[in-house]
Amino acid sequence: MKAKLRPYQTKFIFSPAKFPAMVSAWGTGKSFCLIAKAMDLSEYYPNNLGVIFRKQWVDLRDSTMMDFEKYTGLKIDSQRNVTLDNGSVIMFRHLEELNNIQNINLGWFGIEQAEELESDNEFFTLWGRLRRQNASLQGFIVANTRGSNWIKRVFKDGGIRNDKGELLSELIEAETSDNACNLRQEYLDSLEVLKVQKPQKYNRFVKNSWEDILEEQVFDIDRLNALLEKAAKPVICNLIADNESYKIAEAATGIYRIFEKPCPDKMYWVGADVAEGILEEDADRDYSAACVLEAGTNKQVAKVKIRCKPDVFADYLNTLGRYYNTALLGVEANNHGHAVLAILQREHKYPRIYYRKVLDSKTQKETVKFGWATNSNTKPLLINTQAELLRDGKVILVDADTIREHKEYIQAEDGEYRARVGFHDDEVIACSVATMMGKLNFHYDPTTDWMAPDKQMGGVKMANKRYMSKMEQYMRRRS
């Protein structure tokens, strides 16, 4: 790895401290520095063994591992390890695998985005694995500030000391401006806009402030109140198959909430958030939710919100999507969403499912991944897109409960987007995914009846019979 380092980067990468921490702002090269330090320790000490750790698997896979391969030119094998010529091994693991390395003697460990961890438990557990012979035995982290969290307590408020009072840790901090010479001017200019629009966020992520962050309303409350005043009353119903179509059967206990029936010449987006499927009526349990938006206007025309098993929810989505002119289904591909996607493809042969094209790090070929993947990189995009379009009147919500969920959605003091305590966000996520289907991925041309995907975001072309045949063949091969 060759790069011209800034002084704070050099200080972290070559820190002799047993526990160095780089807590710095956006654009300061945290990931690069973590990888550079991992490579330095692995190359300097032959037969060393270290692990790069991240809380979530999707973030480890889509961010950390991809950055490692980009910066080093090395390939991570199927076991998520890299073996250097000198016999040193670098492992890549996530939180759920922590117990699997309890009996491994590590020479070093590094934690990326350590502020994602709720406590210092993982840090000190890994500390206990630093016992390899002929190695420097270092544990290091890179992170953003997160108020008075465990990183501030451990590294900033006194540091880590031994029984003699000797300091074992080193804290390296940097603001975005410290790396301005390596950043595009357009990016720096955009941060000045953030300074005005979101001063707390600016202070945290640009100025590297440790100040505690208060809860912040995500969606425009005045706009939501205006929508709430015009909220519509739905038809509560079930959808009954009638030859090749569906008809509405009103029922007080119906599954579907219909605000507008489908128009034959219109397209629709469906966003879905899948819960784990626990059926008990516990107020804290999440719901599975789906939101249908009309293409072009992004007006809410139907919804589903229910506690049911994932396979049952897949049946409901299949019916809902086909009723709305075989709408595009955007299913959140996290946890139980994978089961729903598999059923939609294999059992229902649903022809219009959002997909992503992902570059396989081993084969360097594009592979298809169905569903919208929500992670630390995509969630801000998802929520901020919804907030922007709602504010500008380009998303029209008509259901009172959906609107109320948006009113109780916040960015918490830890920077995470979520519902306020005691509320749910299932409909917020479902509606945001539906919005994303129209905003970033598809441009509908009614003259050709084609929906063309954005090259960067993925998608599926639709309504062309020849293409649909190929799509169905592809799904059959997957099943």
**pTM across the whole model:** 0.56
* Contact status, residue 141 vs residue 111, Cβ threshold 8 Å: yes
Please give the pLDDT value at position 356.
Answer: 80
Buried b (16+ CB within 10 A) or exposed e, 257-284: bbbbebeeebbbbbbbbbbebeeeeeee
Domain ranges of the chain: 7-205, 217-478
CATH superfamily of the 7-205 domain: P-loop containing nucleotide triphosphate hydrolases (3.40.50.300)
Please give the pLDDT value at position 267.
Answer: 92
Please give the pLDDT value at position 462.
Answer: 36
Give whole-number Cα distances, 452 to 223, 292, 299, 373, 442, in Å.
31, 20, 21, 20, 5
* Contact status, residue 450 vs residue 346, Cβ threshold 8 Å: no
DSSP 236: E
3-state secondary structure of 212: coil
Strand ranges (DSSP E) for 276-350?
Answer: 288-294, 299-306, 328-331
Please give the pLDDT value at position 255.
Answer: 94
Give whole-number Cα distances, 82 to 36, 85, 450, in Å.
14, 10, 44
Dmax over CA atoms of the chain, in Å, equals: 81
Q: Using CB atoms within 10 Å of the CB of residue 166, give its burial: 0 to 12 exposed, 13 to 18 middle, 19+ buried.
A: exposed
Please give the pLDDT value at position 2.
Answer: 58
Please give the pLDDT value at position 413.
Answer: 66
The highest-level CATH class for domain 217-478 is alpha beta
Please give the pLDDT value at position 50.
Answer: 96
| pLDDT tens, per residue, the chain with 479 residues | 556 799 999 999 999 999 999 999 999 999 999 999 999 999 999 999 999 999 888 789 888 999 999 999 999 999 999 999 999 999 999 877 887 777 789 999 999 999 988 889 999 999 999 999 999 999 999 999 988 889 999 999 989 999 999 999 999 999 999 999 999 999 999 999 888 888 888 999 999 999 876 678 899 999 999 999 999 999 999 999 888 789 999 998 999 999 999 999 999 999 999 987 655 544 457 789 999 999 989 999 999 999 999 999 999 999 999 999 999 999 998 878 999 999 999 999 999 999 887 776 667 778 888 999 888 788 888 999 999 999 999 999 999 999 999 999 998 766 788 888 778 999 999 999 999 998 765 444 434 333 444 333 334 433 333 333 333 343 334 33
Output helix, strand, coil percentages for the chain, rounded to the nearest 5. Answer: 35, 25, 40
Token pair in block for residue 153:
């307590």
Helix (H) or strand (E) holding 94: strand 89-94
